Copies of this chain bind each other. A is one copy, B any other.
């Protein structure tokens, strides 16, 4: 079994799909050989010499795509709509591609792979079950994003986060409000708290209350009926417009008091709900900061511009894209470990790929196989019978 790791070509992508530690671990399996493209890990802090020391062969890009049976990418052509087609052209019948494919927003990619008889596994579809936790890139990358977005806010802010009592008077701590208390939101709470801010958080799911408290933040309660707010897998469910309108009215009173707002409310495969309207931005103090972690999916803030930092009504709104990539060393370490754990499930003792569709993880994750799209949700989205 030859496993190939090309250098990422998606603009701005700094991660690498495997690290030298994962190479060492996977090479313990009989029959496995690993090829890594020259300089693939340079930006993330994993030089070729480290991959070689771990037992990988450093090769050029063409050799990766022409000789590998399994190709590992962070951004496959499914999620890399900028220039991913270059890679799609290189893939050929019988190969298996594993990586992020943006499956719910780009289900057509599964058909593109199926048409080429390339098997595809979408890491975003790893189910949120205990056994699959160690393969869940959405969780591991959300953790990084939640940490980093607090740094982005603190760096941009004209205020310090911690309270300081100095000879020149007392500086009040910044008030930070986190909207959405999933993995990213909770990590944002913990990081802002660590830096010394006064942290409050809100999530539409009643179960989030205990989690918010557990990371040292204060849950904000709104007078809303939220009994049905949690969907499958612990994600928030999409809500109706009436519910969202009432939520926004109550929220306006909260955001007026804040120095920093971080929004993390993403619904998989759907446009992000607007939690912060332009009117709410107008109500905020001049110099306040919003970091919109949902910027890539349209944003939780009405005036977010994806990939940009803009100032509107005296408030700075940061709409970062691909935040985990900016912490490439640790993000690659976790991504690679997720990948290694998945491969350990998929490869048998001889290093051969075995896709056992009885296994929930396989059934959910494989988006293309034997020229077909087997995954039930994708078939729905694609209106396949």
Contacts and interface: CB of A to CB of B under 8 A. Distances in A.
A167 interface: yes
Contact of A158 (B45, B157, B286): B45
B168 A334 contact: yes
B157 A154 contact: no
Interface in A147-181: 147-148, 151-152, 154-155, 157-160, 162, 164, 166-169, 171
B330 A134 contact: no
A111 interface: no
A139 B167 contact: yes
Contacts of A343: none
Interface residues on A, range: 35 or more
A47 to B, nearest CB: 6
B329 A158 contact: yes
Nearest to A167: B133
A241 to B, nearest CB: 35
A194 interface: yes
B333 A171 contact: yes
A337 interface: yes
Given A134-B168, A139-B167, A158 B334 contact: no
Given A47-B286, A134-B167, A155-B155, 10 more contacts: A43-B158, A45-B158, A147-B162, A148-B155, A157-B329, A158-B326, A160-B330, A166-B334, A168-B337, A169-B334
Interface of A: 14, 42-45, 47, 133-134, 136, 139-140, 143-144, 147-148, 151-152, 154-155, 157-160, 162, 164, 166-169, 171, 191, 194-196, 285-287, 326-330, 333-335, 337-338, 341
